[in-house]
Structure formats: C-alpha cells, structure tokens
Amino acid sequence: MQEQEQNRTEPATEFKLKEARKRGQIAKSTDFNILVIVCGLLTAIAIWGEAQWTRLCELCARLFAGAATFQVDVDGTAQLGGMLARETLTTLLPFAATGFAFAILANIVQTGPILSGEPIKPKFERLNPVAGFKRLFNKRVLFEALKSVLKLGFFAAIAYGFFVSLWPGLSTIAAGGLGAQMQWLGSSAVGLLFRLGLALAVVGLLDLLYTRWSYGRDMMMSRRELKEEVKRREGDPQIRARIRELQRENLKQARSMSRVPEADVLITNPQHLAIALRYDRERMSAPVVIAKGAEAWAAEMRSIAARHGIPRFENRRLARLLFRRSQLDQPIPPESFLDVARLYADLRKRERDAARYEVAR
C-alpha cells in the first residue's frame, strides 16, 4: 500500500473527483466553517444584539419585580416555565437562525451544493474494535490533534499578549469610577474579540488552503490507476480494438455480398459455410475469393446464387479449408489448388454438356 501511494504522481481526473463527490468525499475545512459562522453571529449581534439585550434585561426586571407575588404551585410553575421558554427562544432565535444559515453558506462556498447519503450509510466494519483502534491512532488523527494544540496555543498567545498589554493600566482604571471601568471593560472586550477574530480568520484561511492541498494529494493517482479508469470508463482497449475489427469485417462482409452475382461457383458446407470464387484466366494466376460467409451470411449467399443461376458445389472439406485460410479479394491458398482445379474442370464439363444439349435441341 505504501509503495502504491508513493507511485501516485498523476493529478486526479475529473471522473475520479466526480465519483468521490458522489460518495461525499470532498475538501472541507472545519475552521473555515467556524470562521464564517462566527462572522455571521457577530453580524447578528451587531443588528439585534442591543434590542435583544434590552429585552433580556426587561425580562429579568419583571422576574425580580414579581418574585414576591409568584405562586409556588403546579400551575404557577408551569406558567412561569412556559413564559421563560418563549422569551428565551424568542431572544435566541435570530442568533440561532443566523448561525444555521451561515453554516449552510460556509459549506456551499467551499464545496457547492452536494447531496450524498454515502457518509451516513451504516458500515459494519466500523464495529470492529481493532479497526477502530487503528483509526484512533493513525497518522491523520495524530496530525489533527497536533494541529488543534497549535491553534489553541496560537489563540492563547494572542490572549496572553493582550492581557499583558493591559496590565500597566489596571491601577489607573481601578482608581476611576464605575462608569469608566465599565467603558474600559467593554472596549477591552471588543479589542480582544477583534484580535481573536483576526487570528481565527488567519487560521480558517490557512486551514482551507491546507485542506484543499491535502485533498488534492490524497486524490492523486498512479499510472496503473489511470489505465484502469480508462478501461472502466471506455472498456478494455483490446476489447474495443476487437469490436472495431469485427465491425470492419462485418462491413466488408456486407459489401462482398453484392459481388456474389459475379462468382463462377459457390462452394458450400452445405448449410453452415459458403465461399464464392471467381477466376479470369487472362488476369488472375489463381481463383480469387470474392465473398464468404457462415450461418446467416451463408444462407444469404445461397439465396443470391440461386437467383442468379450460379453453380453450387458441396464439398465440406474444401469449404472449411477455404473459409479458414482464404481472405477476401485474395487468391485461394496453394493447398486448395488441386481440389479447386477439379471443381473448375467439373464446372467446364457441365458447361460443355449443357452447350451440346442446347445444340442437339
């Protein structure tokens, strides 16, 4: 397996990428998704945050104001619980809907619309504890764990640097009033979130680039895999060559049927084979095969010969020999010369007897 991976030097074909996409195997960065979702939530906070915070504060004020008159019984508790559930759901619904919408948007931006049930199909091999242990401690999992530690360290370093920069001014802020302290706390929180947001953007974009590079590397193919894919898509080259050869032979055979009326004689097997010969003493050194066929072709040749009055001779051995060894528009093989000469001599004798019969009449 390792040797096969080392031989993967060719980029993946479009066919392989489409097949992998159908199986749900795509390049998708989780950090990029988190980045988009966080951006969406920050946008929602900027739009609805103040209004929802005010609504939450009013809810808390009503709860404190009515605490003295709250009825501790089943009906009162159910009424209060329903009200709290409705208010909480109404407060959080815009943010939850925005996060859900941006999560879908992040996946569409990365991979486009894709529907595949392959990743959620049950696979019984996953129940194998040995295979599960191997998946738990393979190189990819260890690398992802190391990457998570590095990201956590990166965010921690940014937060630490931010708090260190605030340390010299803490004494001045502590001596100020409550309003100044709350304003400083808010501006500091915004500054920290801004720095962490930039760090998350850097991590998300880098992880997106790495994920696509890693996916392209994993999808690379060896030359043997390329050849197997071509065979799978277009068929075995030898089979395709054989099909083309058969098509050419059938076309040539069909064309040769039109030359059967030119034949001197038709040699049959008697039902399975038929070979049509033509001989011109002045232009040919030996008789030439102008048409031959088996089964249905042979039946067609016998029908044409009968319609045009071409003599038919039955000779099983000679028919098999000529069918195997002869080629269309080529002279007959030398080992058939004697039998064909006797056949033509018999043909000439028939023609002379027919001529005498006509003269006698």
Report residue 274's pLDDT band, with 50, 70 and 90 as the boundaries.
Answer: very high
Average pLDDT over residues 102-112: 83
Q: Of 19, 13, 10, nearest to 222 (Cα)?
A: 10
Residue 289 has pLDDT above 50, yes or no: yes
| Structure confidence at residue 360 as a pLDDT band (50, 70, 90) | low
Burial (CB count within 10 angstroms: exposed 0-12, middle 13-18, buried 19+), residue 213: exposed
Order of strands across the sheet that contains 288-294? 288-294, 273-278, 265-268, 312-314
pLDDT at residue 8, as a whole number: 76
User: Do 118 and 22 form a contact (C-beta atoms < 8 A)?
Assistant: yes
Q: What is the 3-state secondary structure (H, E, C) of 133-152?
A: HHHHCCHHHHHHHHHHHHHH
User: Which of the four pLDDT bands, split at 50, 70 and 90, describes residue 288?
Assistant: very high
User: What pLDDT digit, counting tens, does each position of 10-34 carry?
Assistant: 788 787 878 777 777 777 788 888 8
pLDDT score, position 128: 59
Q: What pLDDT, on the 0 to 100 scale, is given for residue 10?
A: 77
pLDDT value of position 183: 73
Average pLDDT value for residue range 104-117: 76
Q: Please compute the mean of the pLDDT values over residues 339-359 and round it to a whole number.
A: 78
Both tokens of 304, joined, read: 């044409």
2 confidence band (pLDDT: 50, 70, 90): very low
pLDDT at 357 over 60: no
| pLDDT score for 275 | 92
Region 201-207: mean pLDDT is 86
Measuring CA to CA, which residue among 260, 247, 322 is closest to residue 291?
260
Over residues 308-313, mean pLDDT: 89
Cβ pair 347, 264 in contact under 8 A? yes
Q: What is the pLDDT of residues 67-102, one digit of tens each?
A: 667 666 677 678 777 888 888 888 888 888 988 998
10 DSSP 8-state letter: B
The DSSP 8-state label assigned to residue 126 in this structure reads G
Residue 251 pLDDT exceeds 50:
yes
The C-alpha angle with vertex 188 and arms to 186 and 193, in degrees rounded to 5, equals 95
Report d(CA 263, CA 318) in Å as an integer.
17
Q: Domain limits of the chain?
A: 2-231, 259-360
CATH superfamily of 259-360: secretion proteins EscU (3.40.1690.10)
Spatial distance between the Cα atoms of 252 and 245, rounded to a whole number of angstroms: 10
Please give the helix or strand (H or E) that residue 312 lies within, else none.
strand 312-314
Average pLDDT over the chain, rounded to an integer: 79
Cα(150)–Cα(108) distance, rounded to whole angstroms? 27
| Mean pLDDT, rounded, for 224-232 | 77
Q: Above pLDDT 90, what percent of the chain?
A: 6
Q: What is the spatial distance between Cα 236 and Cα 255, in angstroms, rounded to a whole number? A: 29
Q: pLDDT for 28-72, tens place per residue?
A: 788 888 888 888 888 888 888 778 878 887 877 877 777 667 666
pLDDT at 3 over 60: no
Q: Which tens digit of pLDDT belongs to each residue from 122-142?
A: 665 555 565 555 666 667 777
